[in-house]
Chains A and B, each alone.
Chain A
């Protein structure tokens, strides 16, 4: 857990990293296009395309979100689609079967009818020929049958009279050039237009004399009736003179069409009903399953929000009920355990607080006695005098330790109150620096203040900020090994920051997270006699958190360290970034020194862990590996809490290299706090 090392809660834990990365990706792509010459002038085209895409996607987004989130919708829609597919398939199969069946029956009946008709036509021709031959009243031997024209009209009339509405008869004269019957025009019954109703292919085939042929056609009528699909059966037969002509039977498929359309509409209606009903059934069924799941999800959400008393409503004995019971049992156990833990923690805090309080009364007495002894130490022998001095010293320590403990316990109990008012941090810094001046002089350290040309105003509790800064400055001086201590102030965006930089031993890898732990010491070997209580930074962290700000540490072994306090300019405003980079631009790494050898990378990593994530981002634009890698980087979530352990996640392959590359990033941007701030701001989202 990170609460120790982290400076304070960052604004939104779930904020997205994607946006800035994505944008960079886009520009990267654009740049590549231009450079590669793949798409000349595509710079203009691609944004338009993107805009269009976005414009199209925008209204869809709620739908997509609903689709992602609503399992019921998904199942119902899937059911609808699948049942629609099944119904369509079924419909096609059934209609195909019905159509084939109808057609088969019709074709059989029609064929026998037509063949009978052809036979009749042949017989009539024969009888007419014999009658004409026998009773030759025309007196001419040349033409045995007088009038083929009239004969044929009669034939068509008699053939078609049998099938009023059921079929029509058409005759066509032969088109053979050497035939006298070429003058014979077409004849048709029932208003059929013969030239358009008899397909040319069938005509050719019949004319070649290959027996009975059939085809499908569309009957065109000479009157106002609409064309109809039909079966046409034709044969070439001879007239009484022995000349061939073509006889066609046309069977309109009107009834079959009607039957088919009846089946079609029936199927369509039934299919629609089936689909709708299946959808409704799926909706109902899924609702039965999803409703408890939703309830469970809601309850779980409320539980996770801390309302531990929430329980599921359990009815019946089915699987859902079992789930609910188990869930409730789990929640109860959790609640119990959490209550126990809370109780324990409360007891501990109470205990610490009580102990601190209880110790103060005897301590006051001891203090008074010690003061008396200390006053009188000149009268004692040296050993005793030394003891008296030690006693007074340790009592001082004990008192401040007790005070710190009380403060901490106040924080723990949530009793700390913020009294924020607009203050100029420069005054605070000045007070702190002047307060630390004696110590600095003793250590031979010079404290420089940078960035105090402008007022750095923020809504803050002056007492607490001063305590934090004093702690930082004193720490810096103490661990500064006589080197300069630089206090840097900056304000940008909605935040102000104070960074305290020393050039002492620095922090070992991993220590940056640990410095904020209670009673942690950089060097355990160091006597407790020196230094503070070990609670200073913890209190400082709590103070920063109370302001809604961050307190972060950076350090490198031998390169010194930097602590940065970032506060929102107005209280209650979430922080988005800091005006000062956590890693100073004069860090060894930034300066390119590599004294840590092979382990440097790892050390660096650890050391910078709590650091502001700023430099994760800044190098990105210059990353030659490309945006893909950058897109992967968020494995170390840049928005994670500063000091969050989550930062200490190994980066993908390019990470290290990139870090090297990115060295200039902070350095550059350090000169321009505004831009830096922007970088931070991105991170903050």
Chain B
């Protein structure tokens, strides 16, 4: 009896085990449909970039091969163009300075044999490199759009010793096609501090972006640091100052710099930097940090500066750098603004998509009857242009504030009167009067008082639109001349004039869209980037990003939009584009399509 009972119990236990096993197996046999939460670590995307492997010259290569191989080697990744130098004679190699300039051609250099007198001798040969220029990158790595034909002569000779063809004369610098240029170089902003600009809010310095092109595969970190130390590029130099003492360089023994696994970069400087004070050192470190922030995939979020003896000068992290200088927007704009169907200024929450509401103050009233407006960067004051373009009102965006005409235009027609105003980071208001008889660029200090006429010595044509960058030293203008409009960038220089009254002028104007025939709208869309609406010669209306130096930034241009008349972008690149088109006010968020916000509305603006 007892044995029987034990057997039954054992059978029961076995059944229980089997049941557990079956449950366990059933759990393993299907995909989970619930579970605990876990973070996903993003892996850096592999760069699928094409790499050209430069080859040394073949034995007994013919002259054409030598020239082609040399041009090919220029597009390679050798830090000092070692392979390319193998195509040169020793003396030519000594004379040749590849870092002097980079000439970018539309389609790459074209080698054409040149009839030389004594080809019969058989020990000389010449090729002409031809092509149409797109741009030139100078020794300061500054990009300048260029037009015209390129021509350079490459002279080959038969080296007596080896009986091989080699190049013995060639133009200085490097020449390559546009696609190779885009593959091998990248645009990086180096940051300096705006000089002669009243400090921005909270006593912070205002940074100015100075875009340069460096070779992306040849230790960009080190070359960026060296470029930064050399100071701002020629164009920007009058209005930008560097925190680094003049002539500071990397310590002699430093060959390459790279951030450690904590993303901290240690920069050893030479003796010129030994005497800097703490605050200046922090400024220097902030410059480095801003410059290198987006350079490597992981970024640099700490910078340590060392003196010539290896002594630590200072260390700075990202958070503290933001306190020192207003690098990006001081604060993210809270609203986007536009003029609604009742010609008043309304605002729309930048993040959400709630219904627009009129701003407080006079400009939000229906009586304002505006056609354009600008909101100061701290979003407490706004300027509006009346529907006929005749009056510019500045009003506080507080309830009860009243209108006051600050500027009056004498233009004949509404199109010849005031443009959309623009606020700089210092709170000054800029506006252009399109009066054909007396076109002028005006600045209202702190948005009030008597407008100051800004001198524009290099201006050729009438200003059609004006946008000031947040740093207050760069200004984007649409200049109309003989029916053609172009986008020009100038720098704002302030000189203390007589009687303490500052003398403001816009200098160094240069076109960033030389190929374009017509530019209808533009807006700053980043520290050194603009979004431009216009058309190339023979092209259709399009919207595109343009660097302030005239180059085309990598990345996609915004999705096309038909009938776009006005556009607004924030210098914070994460915020959506807002445009006024045939469909009213539309918005483009990152990674999405254009979406309609309201039907009735014009002149969308972000603060600025």
Q: Which of A151, A180, A185 contacts B73 (CB 8 A)?
A: A185
Q: Which of A149, A182, A188 contacts B177 (CB 8 A)?
A: A149
Q: Which of A137, A160, A222 contacts B48 (CB 8 A)?
A: A160
A14 on interface, CB distance cutoff 8 Å: no
> Is there contact, CB below 8 Å, between A183 and B48?
no
Q: A138-B130, A147-B109 are in contact. Are A183 and B179 (CB under 8 A)?
A: no
Binary contact readout A116-156 vs B (1 if CB under 8 angstroms, 0 otherwise): 00000000000000000000011110110011111101101
> Is there contact, CB below 8 Å, between A190 and B46?
yes
B58 on interface, CB distance cutoff 8 Å: yes
> Is there contact, CB below 8 Å, between A146 and B69?
no
Q: Which of B47, B49, B68 contacts A149 (CB 8 A)?
A: B68
Q: A139-B130, A150-B179, A180-B65 are in contact. Are A190 and B48 (CB under 8 A)?
A: yes
Find chain A residues with CB under 8 A from B66 CB. Answer: 183
Find chain B residues with CB under 8 A from A168 CB. Answer: 48
B604 on interface, CB distance cutoff 8 Å: no
Kindly state the separation between the CA atoms of A154 and B71 in the bound complex, as whole angstroms: 16
Find chain A residues with CB under 8 A from B132 CB. Answer: 137
Residue of B nearest to A159 (CB): B50
B365 on interface, CB distance cutoff 8 Å: no
Q: A142-B113, A146-B107 are in contact. Are A164 and B68 (CB under 8 A)?
A: no
Find chain A residues with CB under 8 A from B76 CB. Answer: 185
Kindly state the separation between the CA atoms of A150 and B175 in the bound complex, as whole angstroms: 12
Kindly state the separation between the CA atoms of A137 and B106 in the bound complex, as whole angstroms: 11
Residue of A nearest to B110 (CB): A146
B52 on interface, CB distance cutoff 8 Å: yes
A325 on interface, CB distance cutoff 8 Å: no
> Is there contact, CB below 8 Å, between A182 and B109?
no
Name A160-207 residues within 8 Å CB distance of B: 160-161, 164-165, 168-169, 173, 180-191, 194-195
A661 on interface, CB distance cutoff 8 Å: no
B312 on interface, CB distance cutoff 8 Å: no
B112 on interface, CB distance cutoff 8 Å: yes
A157 on interface, CB distance cutoff 8 Å: yes
Q: Which of B49, B55, B65, B111 contacts A189 (CB 8 A)?
A: B49
> Is there contact, CB below 8 Å, between A143 and B112?
yes
- Give the bracket for the number of chain A residues in contact with chain B: 35 or more
Name B43-67 residues within 8 Å CB distance of A: 46-55, 57-58, 61-62, 64-67
For the residues of B in contact with A, the DSSP-based class is: mixed
Residue of B nearest to A175 (CB): B58
Find chain B residues with CB under 8 A from A137 CB. Answer: 132
> Is there contact, CB below 8 Å, between B72 and A146?
no
B411 on interface, CB distance cutoff 8 Å: no
For the residues of A in contact with B, the DSSP-based class is: mixed
Q: Which of B68, B109, B130 contacts A180 (CB 8 A)?
A: B68
Find chain B residues with CB under 8 A from A140 CB. Answer: 110, 112, 130
Binary contact readout B109-125 vs A (1 if CB under 8 angstroms, 0 otherwise): 11111000000000000
> Is there contact, CB below 8 Å, between A147 and B108?
yes
Residue of B nearest to A161 (CB): B48
> Is there contact, CB below 8 Å, between A194 and B110?
no
Q: A139-B130, A146-B107 are in contact. Are A153 and B62 (CB under 8 A)?
A: no
B183 on interface, CB distance cutoff 8 Å: yes
Shortest CB–CB separation between residue A315 and chain B, in angstroms?
A: 10
Kindly state the separation between the CA atoms of A265 and B107 in the bound complex, as whole angstroms: 53
Residue of A nearest to B113 (CB): A142
Q: A140-B112, A153-B179 are in contact. Are A187 and B53 (CB under 8 A)?
A: yes
Residue of A nearest to B70 (CB): A183
Q: A142-B113, A149-B68 are in contact. Are A185 and B53 (CB under 8 A)?
A: yes
Kindly state the separation between the CA atoms of A168 and B47 in the bound complex, as whole angstroms: 11
Q: A182-B58, A183-B66 are in contact. Are A150 and B51 (CB under 8 A)?
A: no
Name A499-521 residues within 8 Å CB distance of B: none
Kindly state the separation between the CA atoms of A154 and B67 in the bound complex, as whole angstroms: 20
> Is there contact, CB below 8 Å, between A138 and B65?
no
Kindly state the separation between the CA atoms of A446 and B61 in the bound complex, as whole angstroms: 130
> Is there contact, CB below 8 Å, between A180 and B112?
no
Residue of A nearest to B58 (CB): A182
Shortest CB–CB separation between residue B583 and chain A, in angstroms?
A: 33
Shortest CB–CB separation between residue A249 and chain B, in angstroms?
A: 14
Shortest CB–CB separation between residue A681 and chain B, in angstroms?
A: 58
Give B contacts to A, CB under 8 Å: 46-55, 57-58, 61-62, 64-73, 75-76, 107-113, 130-132, 176-180, 183
Q: Which 8 A/B pairs are nearest by Cβ-Cβ distance?
A: A147-B108, A183-B69, A150-B177, A183-B68, A150-B108, A146-B110, A183-B65, A185-B55
Selected A-B contacts with CB under 8 Å, 8 pairs: A140-B110, A146-B108, A149-B68, A150-B75, A165-B46, A187-B53, A190-B46, A195-B53
Known: A150-B107, A191-B51. 8 other contacts (CB 8 A): A143-B112, A149-B177, A153-B50, A156-B50, A181-B68, A185-B73, A187-B52, A189-B50
